Amino acid sequence: EARRLQSSDWVRFNPVMQADIQHRSELEHDLQRALETNQFFLEFQPLICLKTNTVECVEALLRWQHPVKGVISPNEFIPIAEESGLIVPIGRWVLLEACAQASRLPEHIRVAVNISAVQFLHDDMYAAVIQTLFQTGLAANRLELELTESIFLDAVQRNLETMSKIRALGVKIVMDDFGIGFSSLNYLRSFPFDRIKIDRSFIRDMLNDPQAESIVSAIMTLGHAMSMEVVAEGVETAAQLDMLRHTSCSTAQGFLMGRPAPLADLTALPGMNG
Ligand code: C2E
Ligand code: MG
Ligand code: MG
Ligand code: MG
């Protein structure tokens, strides 16, 4: 009779997985030193107001310039930073750096910063936000924090309180990647989001897939009913943008309007010069 496989067998017998584990543990090791040796930098992607066709906000996106492996995507290293707890100091650095850079932009431009659920729970986010605004001189109403649905998975009451306190400062709270995660519409009722960003998978498919289109229009209706602005992410084609213009979508973001880039490269866009 065959012996039941154990997880240790799986690791031993699967060279691909073993290489993956090795790669991850190397990255985790290297991540420890990345902050102190200035290997992180930020790119910014514009969010365009569909009423005025000007930039209203820029989203800060973290990049890791690894000394050997080159630039590594946040999709690859953020999960490792979350598991190791390094996301807390890294996330603090992102918040400070993003606000410092944004404080030099025209006053009507806001900055959006992604906050991992792990960071939101394990850092003192309220204190971090106050300290960052004080240190950089950025007005609270120029800061947006982007949270994902994983904020609902753990310590819901505590997260709700933290959100409410931060929001009372005038900081906007945004639900990122809406529609793909742990969705409970009931949470939207009790959590005070200012904006929701429709996940880019729905925007990508909405012109060819009637179901994706239905979901997009349902989110628009929901957002409107709950006094939340709706943002479309991942807009890549003129046809997608044109379709969004016929809805109540307030804001669009995507490669069509601008790829993530150093802030200095965005100055030519409408709205960025005052
Ligand atoms: P996100 O917050 O949803 O950011 C948008 C992602 O979609 C970015 O990828 C952006 O480059 C990409 N994107 C924007 N427009 C388009 C488009 O038109 N087409 C396509 N195909 N992609 C588009 P990026 O920079 O690789 O970031 C991936 C994710 O990593 C982010 O998704 C966010 O969840 C996370 N992330 C990035 N920076 C940070 C950070 O500072 N802190 C935390 N906690 N997470 C971060
Ligand atoms: Mg985001
Ligand atoms: Mg997003
Ligand atoms: Mg996303």
Q: What pLDDT does 274 receive?
A: 75
CA gyration radius, the chain: 20
Weakest mean pLDDT among 103-112, 115-124, 179-188, 200-209 = 179-188
DSSP string, 19-79: HHHHHHHHHHHHHHHHTTTT-EEEEEEEEEETTT-SEEEEEEEEEEEETTTEEE-HHHHHH
What pLDDT shows up at residue 124? Answer: 94
Distance 59 CA to ligand 2 centre (A): 7
Q: Which of 42, 47, 48, 61 has most ligand 1 atoms within 8 Å of CB, for mutation?
A: 61
Q: Which phi and psi (to 5°) does residue 9 adopt? A: -65, -45
Nearest CA to ligand 1 atom 27: 74
Dihedral sign computed on CA atoms, order 74, 134, 160, 194: negative
* Region of poorest pLDDT, from 7-16, 74-83, 140-149, 242-251: 7-16
ipTM of the prediction: 0.99
**Distance of CA 52 to CAs 60, 148, 172, 250, Å?**
22, 28, 20, 10
Q: What is the mean pLDDT of residues 136-153?
A: 95
pLDDT for residue 7 is more than 80: no
Ligand 1 contacts (CB < 6 A) are 45, 61-62, 73-75, 78, 91, 94, 114-116, 146, 176-177, 200, 233-236, 253-255, 260
Average pLDDT (104-108) is 97
Determine what percent of the chain is predicted with pLDDT higher than 90: 82
Per-residue pLDDT tens digits for 24-45: 899 999 999 999 999 999 999 9
Q: What angle do CA 88, 193, 127 make, to 5 degrees?
A: 35
Among 178, 198, 269, which residue's Cα sits nearest to residue 240? 198
* Predicted local distance difference test score (pLDDT) of residue 5: 60
Query: Per-residue pLDDT for 11 more than 60?
Result: no
Calpha distance 32→77 (Å, rounded): 12
Would you say how long the chain is, in residues?
274
Q: Which of 114, 119, 205, 207 to mutate to test the pocket of ligand 1 (most atoms within 8 A of CB)?
A: 114
